[in-house]
Amino acid sequence: MKHPVRQIGRNKVAISCALFVVVLFTLTHSYAGTREQAKRIHDRLTGVPPSNQVLEQMESLISAGNVRGAADIAMDDPAFYSVTLKNWITPWTNENADVFAPLNDYTATVIGITRDEIDFRQILFGDILYIADASSGVPAYSITNNAHYQALDDQSADLKDVLKATTQSALTGLPTEATAGVITTRAAAKAFFKDGTNRAMFRFTLINHMCTDLEGLKDTSRSPDRIRQDVSRSPGGDSRIFNNSCVGCHSGMDPLAQAFAYYNYEYNVNSDPEGEQGSLQYNQAGATDPDTGIQVQGKYLINGNNFPYGFITNNDNWSNYWRHGLNKNLGWDESLPDNGSGAKSMGQELANSQKFASCQVTKVFKNICLRSPQDSADRTKITSMTNTFTSTGYNIKQVFADSADYCKGE
């Protein structure tokens, strides 16, 4: 039989030890020294340990209160571009969110925009493209394959140095007014314009750059007048399903996705079923699509018998019905019109929203701090970083630096 007094004593010792461990962990967790903070910043931004020389330089800058300078040293490491950024961006380029997908023009372009500290909103409307410098020895950029970027991937090329900026209009044949940042890259077209009705491009743009899927934007109070003919108004013979569910997404999505009416991804479905040799195709002004007899791609008029009285797409004019109702809280820019023509102006509508800005900041925070925002302090920091992001030219590198600073003591 255990002696009760001795057992109580053992319990007290155990509790004291446990409390000591908690206190020690808390102190270590919250008050990491400048050297530990420097290493953590480098680790989080690059995924590789710093050399002693780099660590000493970063430690000295942190001690002097210059955390951005320390972060800049870390972000000068090639691994920030070839590892951290590449792994952060790549899942946006495919429907499966596969981080191991090959390097492509979408990923390379976002890496280049980040490196050169270009207004990050350009990813949704800019006439911009990043390719490898001619001296890299890789195959030339092609609109019909990914060999250019695959070779860079195979060589584990230093993406910090090898990428150079050019324009999509100069290389792809797209008119400047038809370019829309990563939306009109070959990789995005292959993933989201291939087959279907081009709604996939709109949906994944929301997921990747507005941090919300369509379910989060459902609003059955919007007018259904722009919903296309291919959407049944009585799915399964029950109109209540359409009125209480389908209309919530389509009433806002269809008038916005009309911006993509002239785009398609063309490939040989028999000899190349995965579309590896396909290319983005755009019906320019004056073009007549063989399936529609107008400029609009045939995919916009398929399954017209599902509801013949539905909307018939005859141009690429878009409207944002979500400027009003529940989704007004996405923070649309009232200085812009709520309608326009084509992907470029629609990309500007999305990129100038408050939701776009907060989404980018939150994604960087998760990537660098290795967790989602958890408490009021985190949420306050997200708001602060978002304000800095929007007021300093949408420089995403600043967001990486600020996130690393905030989490350096963890």
Say whether both 217 and 324 belong to one domain: yes
3 state SS of 163:
strand
Tokens 């195959």, located at residue: 139
Q: Which neighbouring-strand residues pair with 317?
A: 341
Task: Give the whole-number percent of the chain exceeding pLDDT 90.
Answer: 91
Cα gap 324→326, rounded to integer Å: 7
pTM of the full structure: 0.92
pLDDT for the residue 10: 52
With a CB cutoff of 8 Å and minimum separation 6, the contacts of 253 are: 199, 202, 203, 214
Please report which confidence band the pLDDT of residue 270 belongs to, taking 50, 70 and 90 as the band edges. very high
Report DSSP letters for 249-287, one per residue.
HHHHHHHHHGGGTTEEEE--TTT-TT-TT-EEEE--TT-
Half-sphere exposure of 254 (CA within 13 A, CB side): 22
Q: Is 236 exposed, middle or buried (0-12, 13-18, 19+ CB in 10 A)?
A: exposed
Band of residue 24 on the pLDDT scale cut at 50, 70, 90: very low
pLDDT at position 389 is 98
Q: Do residues 409 and 27 touch, judged by C-beta distance below 8 A?
A: no
Q: What percent of the chain has pLDDT over 70?
A: 92
Question: Considering the chain, what is the average pLDDT of its residues?
Answer: 93
| 134 & 52 share domain | no
Query: What 8-state DSSP symbol labels residue 17?
Result: H
Residue 161 CA to residue 151 CA, distance in Å, equals: 15
Residues 316 and 270 in one domain: yes
Q: Do 206 and 313 belong together in one domain? A: yes
Domain boundary among 304, 336, 368: 336
pLDDT of 410 reads 85
Domain end among 193, 227, 253: 193
Specify whether 291 is located in the same domain as 208.
Answer: yes
pLDDT confidence bin for 18, thresholds 50/70/90: very low
Identify whether residues 189 and 201 lie together within a single domain: no
Q: How many domains does the chain have?
A: 3
pLDDT, tens only, 287-302: 999 999 999 999 999 9
Amino acid identity at 225? D
Gap between the Cα atoms of 175 and 185, Å rounded: 13
Q: What is the pLDDT of residues 94-114, one digit of tens each?
A: 999 999 999 999 999 999 999
Residue 68, in any domain of the structure: yes
- pLDDT at site 31: 55
Q: Which H or E element spans position 131?
A: strand 129-132
Answer whether residue 346 is part of any domain.
no
Regarding whether 317 and 224 lie in a shared domain, the answer is yes
User: What is the rounded CA–CA span in Å between residue 33 and residue 49?
Assistant: 17
- The pLDDT of residue 263: 98
Residue 267 placed within a domain:
yes
The confidence band for 245, taking pLDDT boundaries of 50, 70 and 90, is very high
pLDDT class of 23 with cuts at 50, 70, 90: very low
pLDDT of residue 32: 74
- In the block, residue with structure tokens 């919903």: 227
Would you say residue 86 lies in a domain? no
Give the CA-trace dihedral at 180, 184, 187, 191, to 10 degrees: 100
Cβ distance 123 to 153 under 8 Å?
no
Residue at a domain's end among 175, 193, 211: 193
Burial zone of 166 (CB within 10 Å; 0-12 exposed, 13-18 middle, 19+ buried): middle
Give the pair of three-digit tokens for residue 79: 């691994």
* Inter-residue contact 263 to 184 (CB < 8 Å): yes
Is the confidence at residue 9, as pLDDT, over 80?
Answer: no
Per-residue model confidence as pLDDT tens digits over 277-286: 999 999 999 9
Is 116 within the bounds of a domain? Answer: yes
**How does pLDDT run across 176-232, given as a tens digit for each residue?**
999 999 999 999 999 999 999 999 999 999 999 999 999 999 999 999 999 999 999
| DSSP SS3 for 128 | coil
Verify that 229 and 300 share a domain, yes or no.
Answer: yes
Whether 171 and 119 share a structural domain: yes
Comparing CA positions, the residue from 81, 47, 80 lying closest to residue 159 is 81
94 found inside a domain: no
Residue 27 pLDDT class (50, 70, 90 cuts): very low
Read off the pLDDT of each residue in 319-328 and give the average, rounded to a whole number: 98
- Residue owning tokens 């507005």: 210
Query: Which whole number is the average pLDDT over 156-164?
Result: 97
* 48 has a pLDDT exceeding 60: yes
Range of the domain at 261: 196-336
Q: Return the pLDDT at 3.
A: 54
Q: What is the pLDDT of residue 26?
A: 39
Average pLDDT over every residue of 329-358:
98
Whether residue 227 sits in one domain with residue 271 = yes
In a domain? residue 348: no
Asked if residue 258 is part of any domain, the answer here is: yes
Q: At 166, is the secondary structure helix, strand, or coil? A: strand
